[in-house]
Structure 1
């Protein structure tokens, strides 16, 4: 009998662990099922809510929808926000489910990914409003140049738009904590290099062109009238 008990002891231990694990597995499956249902509801609510406030018009005018289409995606920015909300809820459900199963290492990894998704959502909002503002400023610059008779209005409007978008992208990357100080330092180095290149170009070979543009934009007669 003692020998039989020795052989049966691992089986008893396994059955005991299995009996304790099955209820937790059942709870985890229920949590995942509820998570999927809530994720679908969240995606539907986000998409309908954003379209109700005409957010898709803003993203279309800002150029983000066109950017996504050029990348080969079949969804627009509103659908992308809904997809991010869907996966955020799914990740929350996974964290709760794995935490109930006692898989702490998996829970920690999923928790890091889960906290990264809201940063991506905020970064996309920054890009959407920043791109719309950049396009608005570019149109304003172009309209002013046309009314003032400046022939380089298209180039100036593009320069203003690209400059604003560069700052917007840097803010979005900083929001996602991508690159950190490396991105900022690289941007400042590139910006300084561009400014230096323009200064050298004007100083070495573009003085006559700059003088002609200054005379065209701001004639000498108007400057002489200023006390």
Structure 2
């Protein structure tokens, strides 16, 4: 009976203890790598933020309208601090993956390799979304100013359609970069973009109907075009 208990209980416990003891150096290495990596991440984020503040990134972004675009999106942090945080989390992610790799466990190593291979796609998608958001605001403002100067009534609707169109394109490109449901993304992108273009065309048509009516009345009645001199109109 005693031999049975020794074989059934003590044997597995002894084997587990040996595995834990063999894993302790790897756990210690993981802790050291993670600690050093987090300190390096904090230092990298701090240095990047300080350097960007010294060279005047915040002032430049405020002058070109980036700060205003971020504020409209609910982001109240300075661009220098945002880039510093991005640097911190980038180094911290690499440090975490390296620390997990120190355990030398096959499933964790496989996950770390897959994550590192996928990480560039995540960064590219984030950059595409950020650039698309800023570009959409710029395009929207340009369309709004142009439509107001042209006297089109649905100026705000045209500006909103242009903004959403650019953002939809950015989201589709980001999802394409991530490799998420490519067929669904392409079909959905076509439907949404087509709807935005149709809405913009209808809005433009409704806004320009008075201009078209006036143009046709002048042509049919033979009245001269008051907006252009006779010498230019007959050229």
TM-score per shorter chain, which class?
Answer: 0.5 to 0.7
The number of aligned residues is 214
Which of 49, 60, 65 aligns to 2:67? It is 60
Q: CA deviation at 1:43?
A: 2.5
- For 1:171, the equivalent position in structure 2 comes to 173
Q: CA deviation at 1:132?
A: 2.5
Q: CA deviation at 1:217?
A: 9.6
Question: For residues 67 and 178 of structure 1, do their structure 2 counterparts lie closer, same or farther at Cα, with a shift above 3 Å needed?
Answer: farther
In our comparison, the structure showing a higher alpha carbon Rg is 2
Q: TM-score, normalised by structure 1?
A: 0.67
Unpaired runs of at least 5, structure 2: 220-224
Tell me how far apart the structure 2 counterparts of residues 47 and 101 of structure 1 sit (CA, whole Å).
33
Instruction: Summarize the alignment of residues 41-80 of structure 1 with structure 2, pairs less than 5 Å apart.
Output: 41-49=43-51, 51=53, 52-54=56-58, 57=62, 59-62=66-69, 64-69=70-75, 79=81
- For 2:96, the equivalent position in structure 1 comes to 94
- For 1:145, the equivalent position in structure 2 comes to 147
Tell me how far apart the structure 1 counterparts of residues 19 and 141 of structure 2 sit (CA, whole Å).
68
Instruction: Summarize the alignment of residues 120-139 of structure 1 with structure 2, pairs less than 5 Å apart.
Output: 120-139=122-141
| Contact 1:59–1:128, Cα closer than 8 Å, also in 2 | no
- Alignment RMSD (CA, Å): 4.2
Instruction: Provide Cα deviations, 1:30-67, integer angstroms capped at 9, x if missing partner.
Output: 111111111212332444455542375454233x4432
* SS across alignment from 2:73: helix
Q: TM-score, normalised by structure 2?
A: 0.65
Q: CA deviation at 1:189?
A: 2.1
Is the deviation greater in 180-189 or in 37-46? 37-46
| Contact 1:98–1:104, Cα closer than 8 Å, also in 2 | no
- 1:211 paired with 2:181, answer no
- 1:35 paired with 2:43, answer no
Tell me how far apart the structure 1 counterparts of residues 181 and 77 of structure 2 sit (CA, whole Å).
28
Which of 181, 184, 198 aligns to 1:182? It is 184
Unpaired runs of at least 5, structure 1: none
Q: CA deviation at 1:156?
A: 2.5
Question: For residues 103 and 59 of structure 1, do their structure 2 counterparts lie closer, same or farther at Cα, with a shift above 3 Å needed?
Answer: farther
| Contact 1:39–1:89, Cα closer than 8 Å, also in 2 | yes
Question: For residues 148 and 12 of structure 1, do their structure 2 counterparts lie closer, same or farther at Cα, with a shift above 3 Å needed?
Answer: closer
- For 2:233, the equivalent position in structure 1 comes to 225
- For 2:222, the equivalent position in structure 1 comes to none
